[in-house]
Amino acid sequence: MELEAMNSREDWPDETEEAKTESPPKTCCDKIHETISNWILPTNQRDTYLERANCLPPPIFIISVSIAELAVFIYYAVWMPQKQWITLDTGVWNSPFIYRPDKREEAWRFISYMMVHAGVQHIIGNLALQLLLGIPLELVHKGHRIGLVYLAGVIGGSLASSVFDSGLALVGASGGVYALIGGYFMNVLVNFKDMIPLFGIFRILVIITIVGTDVGFALYRRYISHETGQKVSFVAHFAGGLAGMSIGYTVFSCFDKNLIKDPRFWICIAAYAAFVIFAVLFNIFLSPAP
């Protein structure tokens, strides 16, 4: 009997070895990355992300852009003689940042308009969206990819506005924000089967609600509202969203691959470049704007 007991004990697993193979407890940073991966990535990509997840570099691009936009808004709302908290007026209209059709030869305005916003509601909406979505996206895809998508939306937004709404000025970072939303939306849509169905439906409904509300408010302000101040274009919303649904989707769908080797990326870049060239030529030779 004793011999049988000893033999049975030899078959028992070594408790010290079990202790060695136990995974270390999850840190707060690990839990954050796990939550982010659930929101941003489909199931088949989460393990790859979690194996290499870290907070270095931090989401510098989206935070820096947000701070700069907030600083410019505070400058025009607090320190300028024409303090403008609510709407676009003389001070912002004369800003070197705003895109104006009569100043379109100053090429930097096609990008710098993202720094200026038409009131406190405008800046709060854009900052909230780009921080809530942009920080998780940048932690996964890193700043150079987020910057590419964001700026593609900003430039595409101003060029589209100069072509399709050529008589109006343009302010705000909506082009860049909608590029992030468009890229994220396409990834949720394409990878819907790899996500928890109800969770995927919830995300799509949230995106549609936010975009519908924001675009509805922009259309109201453009065509219905009789508030004083200058009217601004809303075309950048749509153009930024299209940039995100093409370039953004390609960038966000291959976070663990070399983007340069993805033929989809070059197809999107070629289409985007063709639009940019057309818009530039339109502004030089065909634009009815002064």
Give every CB contact of residue 151 below 8 A, 6+ residues apart in sequence: 111, 176
Residue pointed to by tokens 């570099």: 57
* CB contact at 8 A, 117 and 172: yes
User: 159, 150, 145, 144: which is closest to 273 by C-alpha?
Assistant: 159
User: 227, 208, 205, 203: which is closest to 121 by C-alpha?
Assistant: 227
Helix, coil or strand: residue 274: helix
Expressed in angstroms, the distance from the first to the final Cα of the chain is: 103
User: 252, 238, 245, 243: which is closest to 276 by C-alpha?
Assistant: 243
Out of 162, 174, 246, 253, the active site residue is: 174
* CB contact at 8 A, 131 and 197: no
Helix, coil or strand: residue 229: coil
259 φ, ψ (degrees, to nearest 5)? -65, -35
User: Which two three-digit tokens encode residue 73?
Assistant: 């808004």
Q: Is 174 a catalytic residue?
A: yes
Out of 158, 161, 237, 246, the active site residue is: 237
User: Which two three-digit tokens encode residue 131?
Assistant: 């921080």
Peptide bond into 42 cis (omega under 30): no
* CB contact at 8 A, 172 and 153: no
Distance CA 157, CA 232 (A): 13
Bridge partner list, 169:
232
Q: Is 141 a catalytic residue?
A: no
Q: Which residues are catalytic?
A: 174, 237
